[in-house]
Amino acid sequence: MSQTNAAALQGPWDIIVVGGGNAALCAAITATEQGKRVLILESAPKHMRGGNSRHTRNFRCMHHGPLSVLIDSYEEDEYFDDLMRVTDGKTDENLARMTIRESEACLPWMEAHGVRFQPSLSGTLSLSRTNAFFLGGGKALVNAYYATAEDLGIGIFYDAEVTHVNIEGSRFTHVDVTIDGQSHRVEGRAVVLASGGFQADLEWLTRAWGPSAANFLIRGTPYNRGVVLKDMLDQDAQTVGDPTQCHAVAIDGRAPKFDGGIATRLDCVPFSVVVNRDGDRFYDEGEDVWPKRYAIWGRLVAAQPDQVGYSIIDSKSINLFMPSVFPPVVADTLEELAEKLGIDGAKLKATVEAFNAACRPGDFHPTELDGLATEGIEPQKTNWARPIDTPPYYGYSLRPGVTFTYLGLKVSETAQVSGPDGPLENVWAAGEIMAGSILGQGYLAGFGMTIGTVFGRIAGREAAAHVN
């Protein structure tokens, strides 16, 4: 790093924000608008800035009537009920309701800081009332916030990994940050931790999940390695959330190890039979409409040998779901398809034939639970069970794709982090790193960005008030 940059790094700063995603940017912008000198330390290089936030497409927003691109209304109770359903009640009601109520004010704030919205994307009509989509997606949102941050004079350093957050007693004093291979100590009067989860640290995942985690794909940024979270755990910060759990969905097995993002999702499962490496079916593919079952298939596939599954359809179904990023494997016979996929042909054929024989006549409705179920096989397929018999046949491989981890810092309603002896005076946290405080398990589409925006703004406001 040049001398001028090294001098610039030293500020002096009122508030240091660790991380460069949505939560970090919301906190930094809010605090700067309170007249504070703010530094953002982002471990990714500039072209990869923005963490998992750059992969997002929308945020979930409460509203009493039509608001920007959102239609009708979406009230607190309905929002809360939706949340309780996906988390099986493992939700901090107080924090959750506060987050939901605050979400309404977020949308105009986001617009005022450069974010643009668009009507829900084609193929996602079901979200047009509840989720506001970002024009251009999460990277456009992140770009807009960085432009705002630059205009506000916020100090921004890329390729800057924070390795240690120094706490003395109940006070934060400085961070250690590595830039160009060199460690620097940067002091600040308060710190906001917004460095995401630890899902990109495969060793950590392996410790939590066992060796199978080596086969998991990470849907988002390779930079969320939980370095800061671990450092805080080592200093006995209070935590929340199951350390052995992560949110995983089934994605295309050919997706890149990191950063495959949303386009690697596969929506063909309900119209298919899914077999494992050995050619056996293992779960009801037609249990519910896909958006509701999307999230369980990560776990299901993770539990199979080699953590892989194969979704098989025939030409009747190829146009029934959103296209996916990789073209399917195609063949005229099931044996040939199996060979191309790398599984046993005779076995796949036998499994599909048994499935076909268990299919019953009836009306097929791709967009609703049609009750077209198999009879006499295990596991049963309870909807959309049509024989797989019309070539060409198509196959996709499935792998677990990790979205985020649940273990995080426990925060108060004001986003304040606690140490072993109670609240830390000048440490706040926002975003994925504290999401476990609200979301004990499961996930509600668009809620991650809501948590980040709400708590980012709170953390920025509280930190600014503290350094006054």
Partner 1 sequence: MSTEIIQEARRQVEICNACRYCEGYCQVFPAITRERAFADGDITQLANLCHNCRGCYYACQYAPPHEFGINLPAALAEVRADSWERLSWPGGLARTFQQSGVALAAALTVGFAVIFATMQALRPEDGEGFYAYMSHTLMVAIFAPAFLLPLAAIAISLRDYWREIGGEFPRWSHLVDAVKAAGRMRNLDGGQGQGCNFEQEDRFSNKRRAYHQMVLYGFLLAFASTSTGTILHYGFGMEAPYGLFSLPKLFGVPGGILMCIGTVGLAHLKVRADKSLGAARVWGGEMGFIALLFFVSLSGLVLYAATGTAWVPTLLALHLGSVLAFFLLMPYSKMVHGFYRFAALVRDAQLKA
Ligand X SMILES: Cc1cc2nc3c(=O)[nH]c(=O)nc-3n(C[C@H](O)[C@H](O)[C@H](O)COP(=O)(O)OP(=O)(O)OC[C@H]3O[C@@H](n4cnc5c(N)ncnc54)[C@H](O)[C@@H]3O)c2cc1C
d(CA 252, CA 298): 11
Position 24 contacts ligand X (CB under 6 A): yes
Position 30 contacts ligand X (CB under 6 A): no
Per-residue x/- mask for partner 1, residues 48 to 87, rule CB under 8 A? Answer: ------xx-x------------------------------
Task: Return the range that interacts with partner 1 (CB under 8 A); candidates 18-26, 117-125, 347-355, 433-441.
Answer: 117-125
User: In the complex, what is the shortest distance from the CB of residue 126 to partner 1, in angstroms, rounded to a whole number?
Assistant: 15
d(CA 19, CA 44): 9
Judged by beta carbon, residue 55 or residue 189, the one nearer partner 1 is 55
Bridge partner residues of 404 (DSSP):
247
Position 291 contacts partner 1 (CB under 8 A): no
* Binding residue (CB under 6 A) for ligand X from 14, 92, 102, 161: 161
Angle between helices 22-33 and 447-467 in degrees, nearest 10: 30
Sign for the CA dihedral angle at 92, 446, 283, 371 comes to: positive
Task: Return the range that interacts with ligand X (CB under 6 A); candidates 16-24, 120-128, 150-158, 250-258.
Answer: 16-24
Tokens of residue 244, six digits: 């052995």
Task: Return the range that interacts with ligand X (CB under 6 A); candidates 13-21, 116-124, 320-328, 383-391.
Answer: 13-21
d(CA 409, CA 196): 11
Residues 6+ apart with CB under 8 A from 462: 414, 415, 416, 428
Residue with tokens 């006070």: 171
Position 219 contacts partner 1 (CB under 8 A): no
Residue with tokens 């503290």: 466
User: In the complex, what is the shortest distance from the CB of residue 394 to ligand X, in angstroms, rounded to a whole number?
Assistant: 24
Q: Are 461 and 32 contacting, i.e. CB atoms less than 8 angstroms apart? A: no
Position 51 contacts ligand X (CB under 6 A): yes
* Binding residue (CB under 8 A) for partner 1 from 136, 222, 243, 366: 136
Position 252 contacts ligand X (CB under 6 A): no
Q: What is the dihedral of CA 363, 364, 369, 375, to 10 degrees?
A: 70
Q: What angle do CA 224, 225, 228 make, to 5 degrees?
A: 95
User: In the complex, what is the shortest distance from the CB of residue 465 to partner 1, in angstroms, rounded to a whole number?
Assistant: 32
Residue with tokens 């006995």: 236
Position 116 contacts partner 1 (CB under 8 A): yes
Per-residue x/- mask for ligand X, residues 418 to 457, rule CB under 6 A? Answer: -------------xx-------------xxxx--x-----
* Binding residue (CB under 6 A) for ligand X from 196, 241, 298, 328: 196
Tokens of residue 277, six digits: 């490496």
Of partner 1, ligand X, none, which one does residue 20 interact with (CB within 5 to 8 Å by kind)? ligand X
Angle between helices 22-33 and 138-151 in degrees, nearest 10: 30
User: In the complex, what is the shortest distance from the CB of residue 54 to partner 1, in angstroms, rounded to a whole number?
Assistant: 5
Of partner 1, ligand X, none, which one does residue 47 interact with (CB within 5 to 8 Å by kind)? partner 1
Of 234-263, binders to partner 1 (CB under 8 A) are 256, 259, 261-263
Other beta carbons within 10 angstroms of residue 151's beta carbon come to 11
Tokens of residue 16, six digits: 């240091």
Judged by beta carbon, residue 222 or residue 423, the one nearer ligand X is 222
Tokens of residue 4, six digits: 């001028």
Three-state secondary structure call for residue 424 = strand
Residues 6+ apart with CB under 8 A from 231: 163, 164, 165
* Binding residue (CB under 6 A) for ligand X from 29, 31, 38, 52: 52
Judged by beta carbon, residue 20 or residue 440, the one nearer ligand X is 20
User: In the complex, what is the shortest distance from the CB of residue 391 to ligand X, in angstroms, rounded to a whole number?
Assistant: 34
Position 241 contacts ligand X (CB under 6 A): no
**How many distinct helices (H) and strands (E) make up the chain?**
12, 19
Q: Are 467 and 14 contacting, i.e. CB atoms less than 8 angstroms apart? A: yes
Position 47 contacts partner 1 (CB under 8 A): yes
Q: What residues make contact with ligand X under the rule CB under 6 A?
A: 18-24, 41-44, 50-53, 55-59, 161-162, 194-196, 219-221, 223-224, 227-228, 261-262, 403, 431-432, 446-449, 452
